[in-house]
């Protein structure tokens, strides 16, 4: 299959149904690409009224996380990087905003770690004390952890 004709879509892009068009939009990375796609014609522009459209746009828009560091002795921020101050004490860092729905990509890179490297998801009600871990008694039922 080398060309659009090989897919037998009558009318080209306009021959696709709303669900396929929404799927195409959901694969786009930049909001500007979605914007250009929507101005192609009225049929595609009508996707703005579709219930799935808002969720797709929310998943494309980039969220900048804010570090929540309880005590200064845990470490410091260096740009978008947390630098741990004590090599031997555990440190749990939470981030804002709380994600309530949709799919979010979140990347964590561990550097210069000796033992555990754990990343996880916590319930919004969790407020981690300094040097407490997500597996400590008060948090264990409200967290999911992925470790090495």
> For the segment 94-104, what is each residue's pLDDT rounded down to a tens digit?
888 777 766 67
Distance CA 69, CA 96 (A): 11
Q: Which residue has the higher pLDDT, 121 or 6?
A: 121
pLDDT band at 37 (very low <50, low <70, confident <90, very high): confident
Q: Which of 48, 50, 56 is nearest to 23 (CA)?
A: 56
R_g (Cα) of the chain, nearest Å = 22
The model scores a pTM over 0.85: no
Mean predicted confidence (pLDDT) in 2-24 = 69
Q: Where are the domains of the chain?
A: 4-60, 66-147
Place of tokens 């905003």: 97
Distance CA 94, CA 32 (A): 31
Find all residues with CB under 8 Å of 61, minimum gap 6, and list them. Answer: 31
Contact predicate 97/108, CB 8 Å: no
3-state SS assignment for residue 145: strand
> For the segment 60-89, what is each residue's pLDDT rounded down to a tens digit?
776 777 888 877 777 888 887 888 777 667
3-state secondary structure 18-81: HHHHHHHHHCCCCHHHHHHHHCCCHHHHHHHHCHHHHHHHHHHCCCCCEEECCCHHHEEEECCE
């Amino acid at each position: 299959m080398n060309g659009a004709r090989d897919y037998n879509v009558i009318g080209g892009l306009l021959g696709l149904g709303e669900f396929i068009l929404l799927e195409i939009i959901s694969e786009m990375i930049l909001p500007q690409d979605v914007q250009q796609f929507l101005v192609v014609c009225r049929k595609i522009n009508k996707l703005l009224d579709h219930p799935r459209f808002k969720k797709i746009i929310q998943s494309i828009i980039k969220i900048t996380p804010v570090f929540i560091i309880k005590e200064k002795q845990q470490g410091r921020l260096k740009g978008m990087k947390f630098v741990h101050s004590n090599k031997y004490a555990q440190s749990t860092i939470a981030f804002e905003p709380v994600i309530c729905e949709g799919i979010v990509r979140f990347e964590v890179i561990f550097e210069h770690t000796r033992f555990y490297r754990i990343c996880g998801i916590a319930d919004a009600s969790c407020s981690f004390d300094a040097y407490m871990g997500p597996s400590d008694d008060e948090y264990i039922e409200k967290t999911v952890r992925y470790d090495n």
